[in-house]
Structure 1
Amino acid sequence: MGFIKTTEQDSNYNHLEKMDVATLLQSINNEDKTVPLAVEKALPQIEVLVQQIVKQLKSGGRLFYVGAGTSGRLGILDASECPPTFGVSPNLVIGLIAGGDTAIRNAVEFAEDSTTQGWEDLQTYNISSKDVVVGIAASGTTPYVIGALEKCNANNIITGCIACNHNSPLSNTAQYPIEVIVGPEFVTGSSRMKAGTAQKLVLNMITTSTMIQLGHIKGNKMVDMQLSNNKLVDRGTKMIMKELSITEEEAQKLLDKYGSVRLAIKNYNDRN
């Protein structure tokens, strides 16, 4: 089958401007319900990429996300949430966006059209064959992302991708492609909607399962999370109380002393 951009096909709905708010919301929700089912079909592809990522990170490598526009922002979002959630270095999972940090808030015209800039951006991080690079592009045609992955392949760097069209140029470039086919968007071509939701779900899966495999979760708790606000300190205290069957006061003292849920639990158990 040839390459067809289902992400650009006409919406299944028309005359949106004539719909009342309730109909608009119900229609968008109906479309959104199809996204997890599309992700489910891609689980085998997600699994093989995660296994590669775990292997590389255990060997001292890093995970890079490369994208443009919404896709780039989602990669940066996922990367930025790994240190507070799992207590890892901000240099372990890194998100890059076409147009640089300015593009996180504002569209940078034609930044995604460069076939060389993606690789140049990766070069600033001294990327090597220990790392993994995952390209994110709903269309699967973004030159910035494809160019980066082509150079990674040529330099013996493991590549994956998340795309929302079948048999796209990006999928054919990545060694470990993930394709989540969500079909036409509610607003024709607005891939920040279903495609963006699908990418977010897959990114959640990739980093969460990887970090669990790397040992950053105990039971079902974020024992390595950064205690960067009162809500998280409170959550950490409750984790310690539950794990060790001690009072809130005792748990708070342990957390104050060791500054980490994991260390508080470990040191308490070592002493008792």
Structure 2
Amino acid sequence: MSTPIPDRTPKTVLITGASSGIGEATARRLAADGHRVFLGARRTDRLARVAGELTAAGATAAFRSLDVTDAADTAAFVAAARDAFGTVDVLVNNAGVMPLSPLAAGRTEEWDRMVDVNIRGVLHGIDAVLPVMLRQGSGHVVNVASVGAYEVSPTAAVYCASKFAVRAVTEGLRQESGGTVRTTLVSPGVTESELADHITDDDAREAMRTYRAVALPAAAVADAIAYAVSADPGVDVNEIVLRPVGSAQ
């Protein structure tokens, strides 16, 4: 049996939620690997900083403002990437929010936001890139989920539901694409990021401080994404689950 050979071909990689955390770390790692990165997020000042630093270091990077909850804006983001680099080879659906709270708190606006960003945002990204990838006969969709795609914990019911949905969508895309589009679900455990900063429920916020005492660096998740992206073209790395050593969940 032959050993799979890593694919070092430079690709055009689109990354959502690229202004910080896992998205920023992924942009830096993939740019260092020689890929062309196109960054999207709402905070364009941060995107400009990251893209500028990458370009100054000799990488190929560009950015555009992006609201993943807006299907038309997501389509325009993908079109801008094609205009800039000619192809759309990989989409990293990374944008996400995590305002945890118990269901009894009734924070329906926060639930709606999680559904809009974590589920609709992923679907908008897939909808925008899939016709392009099918026409060119290849592509790769990487969806960043969470260990919450496999388990549920108190205060995280809606968040976990959104990540269960991402897991289902990813598997559905794998089955439907007939091998034309590779799919990868990357599910990190607790990771250093800004997600916990937006928890408004006092008890959930305090519990998250304890939970985050052991956390993965964002670069570790970026490494996992880079592994999937660079896999032999005949290998589809479908799911990666990673946790910090010693994590209970």
TM-score, normalising length: structure 2? 0.43
**Structure that is richer in strand per residue:** 2
By percentage of residues, which structure has more helix? 1
Query: TM-score normalised to the size of structure 1?
Result: 0.40
